[in-house]
Amino acid sequence: MTAQCVSGRRIGSEEQLREETTAWYEDINSTQRGVDWQMKLDDARIKLNSVYPKIKL
């Protein structure tokens, strides 16, 4: 938040800071973002065995 919202700026009052940060986080939260997965699920199961244990049925 500091780098994106208030970096390099002087905020005159606590109320103004609240208004600025509220506007910033409402904008950020309204923007939908995707995830760029770096590996396929089968590769993740191999590399991250403790996180993705094999379940035997």
**pLDDT, tens digit (0-9, with 9 covering 90-100), for 6-31:** 788 888 999 999 999 999 999 989 98
**Predicted confidence (pLDDT) at residue 55 exceeds the cutoff of 80:** no
Q: What is the mean pLDDT of the chain?
A: 84
Which of 14-20's residues contact partners 24+ apart within 8 Å by CB, and which partners? none
Q: Measuring CA to CA, which residue among 35, 31, 2, 30 is closest to residue 17?
A: 2
Query: pTM value?
Result: 0.51
Contacts of 28 (CB under 8 A, 6+ apart): 4
Between CA 32 and CA 28 the distance in angstroms is 8
